[in-house]
Amino acid sequence: MRVLEINDLTNQNILLCYQCQKCTATCPVSNYMDIKPDVVVRMAINGKINELMRCKTIWLCTGCETCGSRCPNLISVGKINEYLRQLAFENNIEPAIKPALEIHRAFLNSIERFGIVHEASMLAEFKIRTKDFFSDLKLGIKMFLKGKIPLKPHTIKGIREIKRMFEEK
Amino acid sequence: MKRIIYYPGCTLHSTAYEYGNSTEAVLKHLGIEFEEIPDWNCCGAASAKSLNHRLSILLPARNLRNAADLAGDVYVPCAGCYNNLMKAKKAMENEEGREEIEKKLGKFHRIPEVYPLMNLFIDDKVLKKLSENKLNTDVKIACYYGCAFLRPEEILQNENPELPKSIDTILNTLGVHTVEWPLKSFCCGGDLSLASSDIVSVLVEKILIYAIEAGASAIVTACPLCQANLEMRQKTKMPVFYFTEIIGIALGIDENKWWKKHLVDPGNVVSKLKGGR
């Protein structure tokens, strides 16, 4: 059963949820979500994984863990969302908020390349992946002029070990 | 005085340059010896855990392994890095988890302790040293902690996630007044900053309005992502400092190059604080 897998991988018992909705009340971004946090828990219990993998909520959750911290049953909806994001990515599900996936993809590619993040090329890759070249352009230039986005990348010595981490399943 | 292992993380060499530079200057001045984790890598930030669970453990675990070769505890200035290192540490607590990680990364000599950078300064000896450098000022500061230093509390076991106080304690010891306000651990939007900047702007504006209403003229934080979001996504022109920059002012070792890196000019508050030296 999927619910047992979720319990196991998120290290909590989501069946304890009695729908007090504190998670939704306390979530800083719940007003932007298409499926509210308490409903995510209910749907996860009922095995509605296909719908959950396609919702905006899992890409809007910031993982701030306020829900988990305040839940009377110690359930973190953030951990469920994290699990669902990984599952959606593994299964090549089209994300409801594409830039949210693409920023993570560009970020991980940067780590795979250098071992640490090189902001300039990471941001360029993000822009290419989302085909949005103009948002935050002024801000980016300002950051660059302040020397906060170094041009020259640095590669760590153990980059082969990092690449192996990415290759192995 | 003390010897620590230091994990700066990616941002302290780039977007949070002033955090890295002020941290190193303050540590040197206080006689705290520090050594970077040898050949450290990125902790995976929010991206590894979003897309690939295995990487979200292995990337920070490699840093723990490299740190194990040095003596001492690891201190981490970045909230995201701290959070990820602690999760890797937690994963190694049970035998099965440790075996799996060691299969990929080799044997660990030991698993070092990991603390947020703030904890280094709330040590009695360090606080005493700080208290000898009091600022005489009426500037009021709102200390902002964000999420990743505080939650999930069962893994971090650091400080009260509802009402944290480490940064307040440090600033109060330096003679700086801090305000009581309810959004100390409210989320700034974190890594939504690039994908959904409109949402982050709303959260940031909310945080700033509460800080201003509480009487603060600046925000002090310890998290590079919070600091970046608060500066990038605000319209208010409220300065946002790293706590190490304020310690630097009190110790008289602050440098103009820190203030030049800020997107919101902090000059006004800096000169008021310096006036109290």
- Looking at chain A, which residue has its C-alpha nearest residue B191? A62
What is the pLDDT, as a whole number, of residue A106? 97
Does B129 reside within a domain? no
User: In chain A, which residues have their Cβ closer than 8 Å to the Cβ of B54?
Assistant: 165
> Which residues lie closer than 8 Å to B124 by C-beta, 6 or more apart?
none
Give domain status of residue B123, yes or no. Answer: no
Q: Does residue B60 belong to any structural domain of this protein? A: yes
Choose one of A90, A108, A128: the last residue of a domain.
Answer: A90
B261 and B211 in a single domain? The answer is: yes
Distance CA B77, CA B19 (A): 8
Q: Is residue A6 domain-shared with residue A78, that is, in the same domain?
A: yes
Q: Same domain for A65 and A110? A: no
**One domain for residues A21 and A77:** yes
**Residue type at B248 in one-letter notation:** G
pLDDT over threshold 90, residue B25: yes
State whether A77 and A108 are in the same domain: no
Residue B45 tokens, joined:
């930030």
Domain boundary residue, one of B91, B117, B143: B117
Instruction: Indicate whether B140 and B113 sit together in one domain.
Output: no
The reply to whether B18 and B106 lie within a common domain is yes
What torsion, rounded to 10 degrees, do the Cα atoms B147, B152, B153, B158 define? -50
pLDDT in tens, B110-128: 999 999 999 999 999 999 9
Domain assignment of residue B127, yes or no: no
Q: Which residues of A touch B197 (CB under 8 A)?
A: 135-136
Distance CA B178, CA B61 (A): 36
CA distance B191 to B200: 9
For all residues of chain B together, what is the average pLDDT? 96
Q: How far apart are CA A70 and CA A22, in angstroms?
A: 7
pLDDT digits (tens, 9 = 90+) for B127-158: 999 999 999 999 999 999 999 999 999 999 88
Question: Which of A11, A69, A91, A157 should one mutate to test binding to chain B, selecting the residue with the greatest count of B CBs within 10 A?
Answer: A69
Are A55 and A22 within 8 A, CB to CB? no
Q: Indicate the pairing of strand B177-178 with strand B218-221.
A: unpaired
Whether residue B229 is found in the same domain as residue B271? yes
Range of the domain at B224: 134-275
Same domain, B29 and B79: yes
Pick the range with the lowest mean pLDDT from A144-148, B43-47, B219-223, B257-261: A144-148
**pLDDT higher than 90, residue A119:** yes
Considering CB atoms only, which of A59, A82, A100 is closest to B49? A82
Q: Quick one: tokens of A63?
A: 């993982």
Same domain, B178 and B86: no
The secondary structure of chain B, three-state, reads: CEEEEECCCHHHHCCCHHHHHHHHHHHHHHCEEEEECCCCCCCCHHHHHHHCHHHHHHHHHHHHHHHCCCCCCEEECCHHHHHHHHHHHHHCCCHHHHHHHHHHHCCCCCCCCEEEHHHHHCCHHHHHHHHCCCCCCCCEEEEECCCCCCCCHHHHCCCCCCCCCHHHHHHHHCCCEECCCCCCCCCCCCCHHHHCHHHHHHHHHHHHHHHHHCCCCEEEECCHHHHHHHHHCCCCCCCEEEHHHHHHHHHCCCCHHHHHCCCCCCHHHHHHHHHCC
B7 and B99 part of one domain = yes
Helix axes B243-251, B166-173, angle to 10 degrees: 10
- Return d(Cα B163, Cα B216) in angstroms, integer: 17
Same domain, residue pair A83 and A109: no
Same domain as A62, residue A9: yes
End of a domain among B86, B117, B148? Answer: B117
Residues A85, A13 within the same domain: yes
Residue A68 has pLDDT above 90, yes or no: yes
- Strand B74-76 to B140-144 pairing: unpaired
Of B99, B93, B88, the residue nearest B37 (C-alpha): B88
Is B260 contained in some domain?
Answer: yes
The last residue of a domain, from among A37, A68, A90: A90
Between CA B97 and CA A124 the distance in angstroms is 36
Contacts of A150 in chain B (CB under 8 A): 13-14
Instruction: Give the CATH number for residue B102.
Output: 1.20.1050.140
Q: Is the bond preceding residue B152 a cis peptide, omega within 30 degrees? A: yes
Question: Do B104 and B170 fall into the same domain?
Answer: no
Q: Find the CB nearest A119 among B15, B48, B54.
A: B15
What is the model's pLDDT at position A169? 65
* Residue B168 placed within a domain: yes
B87 & B165 share domain: no
ipTM for this model: 0.96
A63 and A15 belong to one structural domain: yes
A83 and A67 share one domain:
yes
Q: Please check whether residues B213 and B256 belong to one and the same domain.
A: yes
In the block, residue with structure tokens 């306020």: A66
- Under a CB-based contact definition with an 8 Å cutoff, are residues B42 and B88 in contact? no
Number of structural domains (chain B) is 2
- Whether residue B192 lies inside any domain: the answer is yes
Q: Are residues A61 and A116 in the same domain?
A: no
How many domains in chain A? 2
Where a domain ends, among A57, A90, A123? Answer: A90
Contact B147 A65 (CB under 8 A): yes
* B190/A63 CB distance under 8 A: yes
Does residue B124 form part of some domain?
Answer: no
pLDDT at B1 over 90: no
Residues B144 and B271 in one domain: yes
What's the CATH code of the domain at B184?
A: 3.40.50.11810
Q: Are residues A20 and A81 located together in one domain of the fold?
A: yes
Domain limits at A85?
2-90
pTM of the full structure:
0.97
* Rounded (10°) CA dihedral B80, B85, B91, B94: -140
Give the pLDDT of residue A2.
Answer: 87
**pLDDT, tens only, B42-60:** 999 999 999 999 999 999 9
User: What dihedral angle (degrees, nearest 10) is formed by the CA atoms of B243, B244, B245, B249?
Assistant: 110
Q: Do B187 and A62 touch (CB under 8 A)?
A: yes
